[in-house]
Structure 1
Amino acid sequence: MQATKNIPFFSFDATTELIRAEIKQVFDDFLESQWYILGDKLTQFESAYAAFNSTAHCIGVANGLDALHIALKTLNIGPGDEVIVPTNTFIATWLAVSYAGATIVPVEPDKATYNIDPNKIEAAITGKTKAIIPVHLYGQPCEMDKIMAIAIKHNLAVIEDNAQAHAATYNGQLTGSFGDINATSFYPTKNFGALGDGGALTTNNAELDKNARLLRNYGSSEKYHHEIVGLNSRLDEVQAAFLTIKLKYLAQWTAERQRIARVYSEQLTDINGLVLPVTATGASHVYHLYVIRTTRRDDLRAFLKNKGIATAIHYPIPAHLQKAYGGLGYKQGDYPIAEELAATSLSLPMNPGMAIEDVQCICSTVRSFYE
């Protein structure tokens, strides 16, 4: 069976229809309240998300990049400090370190999980290292037991980048609850996304919570009184209200993603030359993306497009080879695992509400490419 209709890479149709009436009602309430920034709806969401994520505190901010930046600033990380980051990640992880004025120290991923390889972290630690930012990429938790042990041994802070792994667990513990202070994004296409930009921090540390709240609001807890040099980065009331609604459905949507992933894995297994996602021992994968790998990636993508199936590439150019980081002097071959992943990875359609018939159609079309 091959595609006879267009199958989008991502669609909001099913999730939007499910919550449409609630969204309209909460927007009307928001409009009538005439309170649009730092109000009750944000407070309610922060309490709900902290409880969901098993942390004491949640701080809503404008987006995921700001969350990472603020996390670094709460830890007083800046010029002269080094921060360990994955080579295989969206550029926001690197940008946050740059914004803080700290030095980026890249570490290659585990080739099976695509996440930072904990076995390579200690070799990158120097006397200037202050933090590690593990990224739970594509919905797969990092090996947090090893990473936390390294951080404790070397007295380093940990900032989880949890933008792609809402509701994922490692050894039964939710991502976003391991580190000193952790960042997430609510970009609309995330597993738990707003209807616009948004982000948050989670922490169990009351002092970091206090500092993050100051930083997001001009360094102020009382209007026109500024304790520190802060930013303007606040999750607005309407997005907080929308997220409170969507939080009720996250478990359902996560289960749908995992069900779709199972169909992919069952039907695409044993294709010579095709590498399927691997879930680390102890991890629960929430499949923000279902990423396959093949040396014939570009040909496969073109073939699927011709059959009406949209795909995506995450991420075609590693951060160390981006023009933005040309000044760091990295060149092709410096981080070969990240470069290989960038050249061979292909993301298949993955979204809640997707018809299983469409998933099966995608699988049969992929198989026909290899026949």
Structure 2
Amino acid sequence: MIITRYIEDLGKDTPVLKTDFLIVGTGIAGLFTALKASQHGQVIVATKKHIDDSNTGLAQGGIAAAVHEEDSPFLHLEDTLEAGAGLCNIEAVDVLVREGPDRVRELIAAGAQFDMKNGAISLAREGAHSKARILHAADTTGAAIRGALVEKCKLNSGIEIREDQFLLDILTDEDNCECFGALFFDAKKGERVIYSARAVIIATGGAGQIYKHTTNPDVATGDGMSACFRAGCRLTDMEFFQFHPTVLYGHESQRFLISEAVRGEGAILYNGEGERFMKRYHSLLELAPRDIVSRAIWNELQNTEKPYVYLDMTVIPDGPARFPNIHRTCLERGVDITREYVPVSPAAHFIMGGIGTNTNGETSIRGLYACGEAAC
């Protein structure tokens, strides 16, 4: 297969900006990395549109970590491996569950505020988890985390955030062995610009926009993955794309997520015949792993003329208080979650594959790293 190395030519008059660390993307992965990197040098964070444009701000349910005394990283690991159906990278899962609690504490120290109950962090349960271990901020957890990190980065004199920077190419030596920076299109100035850096970290998120229906914003087009691929990086497990089972049905391309946390609070799925169908697919019912619930819904839709199933949130005590964003958005779409079933269907949500890295985020090219959804 022939792959074009560069999609843009480098002009001799192309302006060059130098920094120690170049981070591409302003989701939780990029912003958290920026704060860490700023302890070791100057940082430029480049983002395709606005600093708030990422999947992070749309995340609702919460963040999973074994922070409760009755939970443990080992139990979290067991749950993850079970849900992964034998396909998980055990080393990566081990890092995730062991280091997760400390990273959550760092988010709290950075200003992220999670819901509290009786003086302790309120923990919810989601699909495939045997314990309640989901820290949340109502049903806008991602926005709460992003807001705290954005504020922290803006106050950090060692971090410069540059918006409207579209990633074009990763710049390497002739043998694609070492990375020296990246080429961007500056949409504000209408010109190309080179960022030269000791290390480049790709945190550009996912690629949900390749699908007709997705929960992802319009910036999720896989730019970082494709640029790294053209530079010679390996892409891994690209066939694995997670479809979230419960997305508010509509005719728009970007659809509104109905958090898995609502099923953790007791919401029930019914098919067009009014049958609670998940009992035929998995012992965990509505809290089965997402791939199982999504396939179950797809199977049910093959036997009906309706393009959706129903999610009953009326059974959740004080649902509007627990899920104010979902309640408000559903009302805007003509559905009252306190009285009516919510029409839902699966939609593309999260790419499990991405730029091949080790557990330190290193790619096959020296000086080039990847993290967050863009990495694998």
Confirm or deny a common fold (TM above 0.5): no
TM-score normalised to the size of structure 1?
Answer: 0.25
Answer 1 or 2: which has greater helix percent. 1
Answer 1 or 2: which has greater strand percent. 2
Bigger relative CO (Cα 8 Å, ≥ 6 apart): 1
